[in-house]
Structure 1
Amino acid sequence: MRRAGLARAADHGTTTAAGRATRVMWATVSTFFAGYHCFTSVAALLALQFSVVVLASEAMMAPSSGILCAVAVRLHAVFAAAGFPPSPFFSLLEAKLSQTVFTFAATLPFALTFLLLVKACVATMLRDDDGGGASPSRRWHQHLRIAMLPPCGAVARAYPAVVATHLLNAFLMLSANAAVFSLLLLAFGAADLLGLTSHVWTLALSAMGAIVYSLAVEVAIVVCNLAVFMASTEPGCAGHAAVLRACVAIRGQVSTAPALVLPTNLGMAAAEALFGLRVVAQRRRDGRLAPGVADEAFSIAYIHTICVVLEIIVSCMFYRSCKRSEADELRELEPEEKGDLQA
């Protein structure tokens, strides 16, 4: 009996982050196609407005835009005052951060309404209704029973908690960026004190900083998405309580976070790049939007919308995976404890 428990523990320990991520993504795709009509209806009715505003804000961000240049200049002044050396990494980071700040400010009203309503609606559709009494494997495959849209009352009850959690998540992302910048400042300061100021050392530290920054932001995104899902599905869980529960839920599976964030983020980034290449470029070249390109713009916005919905489903499947792993660990200990008692 004890050998069987140790064997299950060994099998569980050999589960890699890539394997867990693959399982979560497979469950996400299965869930999406199981409730295809419901998810696409939610995407068309609610999420499409948010995606259109995001793509429109991306179209407004021309390199010579006054607002974008003003934000970039202020970020450059902050980085220069902090003591960061001139580097292509920080030039790219300044440009991306200025675009992120502009997009966040431009889309904030739509994010607080349409985006959060989509998250609350999809999370309510994926909520477990058995109160945790079912087995972990049953809860893991419960996504196959999606058949209808959630009632408006359930979404309305979850919406205030989702708003509070979303606002806290904005401060959490700001804190994650500030923490990484502080570590980079310490690293570059230590390199300056040690005399490591050559181009090679600057390039090496910039590459390390890019990796650390990407990992920190991806983990923060996973925590924020899990917090929003918990605020939508668990009564009395909102704000800091949802964030703390999300941090506890992903313990031991932090390495899986980058693999989960990458597919949906790449999908949204590809839709935004395609919109700029096919729609924005044509409008700037001809001075007007051609009818055929307008239809293409709608299709690209819908693709962006589907990626937004998939991101919410990924959070749900990852949360169920974390709960399932925790239940498996507890179940693995039971035979060993019973064997000790019998002995």
Structure 2
Amino acid sequence: MEDSSRTQSHAIMRRSVYTFLQNYHYFATIAAVLAFPYALSILLSQFFVLHSPLFPAIHTHLRAVFMAAEFPPSSNFFNVLSLKISQTVSSSIFALPFTLSFFLLSKASTIHLLKHIKPTSPPSFSSISSLYKPLFSTFVCNFFLLLAANSTAFSLLFFGYHFINGFGFYLSPNWLTFMSAAGAVVYSMILANVIVICNLALVSSGMENSGGYLAILKACVLIKGRTLTALALAVPANLALAAIEALFHYRVVVRAYGYRSGGDCSGFPMALEGVLIAYLYSIFVVLDTVVSCMFFKSCKTGCLVDLEGRYCYKIEIVAERDGKAFVKLKNIEELA
């Protein structure tokens, strides 16, 4: 299973890079320019969030919630978790206007070009804007799904902590280490799977022009049996975006602190470097969308082979007028 997932992820990644290079002029201009304000807002949030009153307020309330849940205050895992969640929430609020506008428009422009098997001409702005509504509704549903996933993870950690604490392991340092490691694994697994589903749901809403909770249900059906492939495709893109954020922090944010402290640093070259890093970030945002589109196409057109009967099936997901989703299963004879 792991070898098959690795092979599929490599094939999809190669096809995605090939498609990106084939339409490089469009992706590097229209799609990347649309994603540029979103990328710049995400990167600049590192500088503004730490100086805004929003971050300490969120961090204080989140630590109060953890203390009310009686999580161990000496655990580095819960301290780091509360800090990272506070930073993520503050950064998301700061970049929310750009996410709801430029980010979704960039997604729509990329998805609309790749809706057909062989994209020909670049789509017009009217055709791009027509995909904005389903993408927006799916994005809102994704927000509630992420909120539910975090609540579920915290609930599991809460019950697990108190269940083990009932056996009298509260003062044991080995127990604290085990609890921190288990909590990190559980939280990472839940969040990673939900993020993959949310990305696939966005692509599904653009490809099939149907957004909202129905796109999330379709994504859950399509990703069944392909979770390892989806995670293998998501890891490189997220690592690349995290590396670019670290590069921006090192080359711009740290130097900006030195410039404000009277250090020897020129403002214009630093600003120009920040713009180039933000453009690189937007390029990888577009490439991540291309990878998600290729993965969606492979899920839609791929055949599921029954290991016992060795029969090949094709899944078709149809949305009826009343909003209900139905799955049609065709065997190889019906496809022929």
Q: TM-score range by the shorter chain?
A: 0.7 to 0.9
Deviations 1:88-128 (A, max 9, x none): 01111111100111011111111111000011111111103
- Spell out, residue by residue over 1:230-280, the C-alpha distance to the aligned partner (whole angstroms, 9 max, x if none): 111213x21011000010000011122322221111111111111111111
Unaligned residue ranges in structure 2 (runs of 5+): 314-330
Cα deviation for residue 334 of structure 1 reads: 5.8
Secondary structure at the aligned position of 1:127 is classed as coil
Tell me the CA shift for residue 166 of structure 1: 0.4
The residue number in structure 1 matching 2:322 is none
1:219 maps to which residue? 193
**Equivalent pair of 1:221/1:261 in contact (CA under 8 Å):** no
The one-letter code sitting in structure 1 at the alignment partner of 2:203 is F
- The residue that corresponds to 2:163 in the other structure is 190
**Which amino acid counterpart does residue 251 of structure 1 have in structure 2?**
K
Q: Which residue matches 1:315?
A: 292
- Using the TM superposition, give the Cα deviation of residue 303 of structure 1 relative to its aligned residue in structure 2, in angstroms: 1.2
Shift of 1:172: 0.6
Are the counterparts in 2 of residues 283 and 289 from structure 1 also a CA contact under 8 Å?
no
Cα distance in structure 2, aligned partners of 1:332 and 1:222: 29
- Which of 124, 146, 162 aligns to 2:112? It is 124
CA distance in 1, matches of 2:230, 2:186: 14
Structure 1 counterpart of 2:277: 300
**Using the alignment, how far apart are the partners of 1:14 and 1:93 within structure 2?**
30
**Aligned partner of 1:94 among 82, 105, 109:** 82
Cα distance per residue 1:282-339 (max 9 Å; x no partner): 111112752221221111101110111112112111112222333666995169x999
| Amino acid across the alignment from 2:186 | V
Q: CA separation in 1, counterparts of 2:216 and 2:259?
A: 48
SS in 2 for 1:16: helix
- Aligned equivalents of 1:157, 1:25: Cα separation in 2: 28
Deviation larger for 276-285 or 211-220: 211-220
Residue of structure 2 aligned with 1:279, choices 248, 252, 269: 252
- Bigger RCO of structures 1 and 2 (CA < 8 A, at least 6 apart): 1
| Residues 168-177 or 255-264, more deviating | 255-264
1:268 is the counterpart of 2:268? no
Distance, in Å, in 1 between the alignment partners of 2:246 and 2:107 is 24
Report the CA distance shift for 1:283/1:190 in structure 2 as closer, same or farther (over 3 A): same
Is 2:205 the partner of 1:231?
yes
The unaligned stretches of length 5 or more in structure 1 are 1-12, 129-141
CA distance in 1, matches of 2:302, 2:162: 42
Q: Distance in 1 between matches of 2:57 and 2:14?
A: 43
Q: Secondary structure at the match of 1:231?
A: helix
Match of 2:151 among 178, 185, 195: 178
- The 2-side partners of 1:20 and 1:273 are apart by 30
Counterparts in 2 of 1:178 and 1:14: CA distance versus 1, 3 Å: closer
Please, which of 208, 220, 232 is the counterpart of residue 182 of structure 2?
208
The one-letter amino acid paired with 1:333 is Y
Going from structure 1 to structure 2, the CA distance change for 1:228 and 1:338 (only over 3 Å counts) comes to: closer
More helix by proportion, 1 or 2?
A: 1
Q: Percent identity?
A: 37
Alignment TM-score, normalising by the size of structure 2: 0.86
Q: CA deviation at 1:61?
A: 2.9
Partners of 1:126 and 1:316 within 8 A in 2: yes
CA distance in 2, matches of 1:271, 1:104: 17
Amino acid at match of 2:139: H
Q: How many residues align?
A: 309
| SS class of match (1:98) | helix
Counting only pairs closer than 5 Å after superposition, residues 1-343 of structure 1 correspond to structure 2 as 15-62=3-50, 65-86=52-73, 87-128=75-116, 142=117, 145-197=118-170, 198-235=172-209, 237-287=210-260, 290-326=267-303, 332-333=310-311
Q: 1:42-77 CA deviation, whole Å, 9 max, x = no partner?
A: 244210011111111111133x65321111111000
Aligned to 2:327: none
Q: Which moves more between the two structures, 257-266 or 300-309?
A: 257-266
